[in-house]
Amino acid sequence: MTREQIAETADFIARYLSYMLGAGVHTSRVVRNSKRLGNALGVDVAIHTSQKTAMLTVSDKDSNVLNTRVVDIPSFPISFEWNADLSALSWAAHDRKMTLEEVRREFDTLVSKPGMNPVFVLFMVSLANASFCRLFGGDIWAMLVTFTATMIGFFTRQHLTKKKVNHYIVFIVSAFVASICASTSLSLGIPTAEIALATSVLYLVPGVPLINGLIDITDGHIQTGISRIVNAFMLIVCIAIGLSITLILVKNSLL
């Protein structure tokens, strides 16, 4: 391979792994897929990742020419669809012996697909939270309040995220909005109002970063794993702050 071809390959693999990491894929899977993709394109790949950046070195198997890239990891919404599709792309490149141009074209097609309808996501998240309310013993009225509060809180999160507000502030405000809306159940005299209030913020719990952090640590990616867990705990603290503000405001209704 020429130096130009190696550089193009390094550019593409760097973009590939940055999209996977940005979409919430755990590190070991990203490394396996990137190495598989590099092997399919005729190069060896070495990768180092952190919370915000990733560095990879691509080397030609024949000429030993090296090419290194350092890329920022973009902040994409967590996407299980990208996780599955981009992993499948690495296998397709390996099994079908695809060229770099073919792989790049398929990659662009996958990442340009429209995401799920925001309104549909809003409805399903609200329904899921209402189901949690029922699971923890809430009655039908508490479920209805939780559904409505979650819908308002999640809409707030969508709006603030679109405005590129700091995600810690987004979590505090979203938790406050959802919980203050759910606190209306106290005024309405709903028997299981406390359950509605507590479950109204569950849609914010950062389950994927927590799981990925533990997977990274067990797989030996200690630095990335710890940073993901710390970030997840910071988000949990933000949820607690937003909920605490509501509890301070409505404490007389709880007593």
pLDDT in tens, 146-177: 999 999 999 999 999 999 899 999 999 999 99
31 or 79: which leads in pLDDT: 31
pLDDT in tens, 173-209: 999 999 999 999 888 888 899 999 999 999 999 988 8
User: Mean pLDDT for the chain?
Assistant: 90
Residue 229 token pair? 């867990």
Helix ranges restricted to H, the chain: 3-22, 27-40, 80-96, 100-111, 118-135, 140-162, 167-182, 184-187, 193-199, 207-218, 222-249, 251-254
Instruction: Check residue 254 and give its pLDDT.
Output: 59
d(CA 32, CA 149): 41
Burial (0-12, 13-18, 19+ Cβ within 10 Å), 138: buried
Bridge partners (DSSP) of residue 70 are 55
| DSSP reduced 3-state for 189 | coil
pLDDT in tens, 38-57: 999 888 999 988 878 899 99
Q: Where are the domains of the chain?
A: 3-111, 118-254
Is residue 104 scored above 70 in pLDDT?
yes
Instruction: Check residue 78 and give its pLDDT.
Output: 84
61 or 206: which leads in pLDDT: 206
Q: What is the pTM of this model?
A: 0.85
- CB of 68 closer than 8 Å to CB of 57: yes
Residue 129 token pair? 């939270």
Is residue 24 scored above 90 in pLDDT?
no
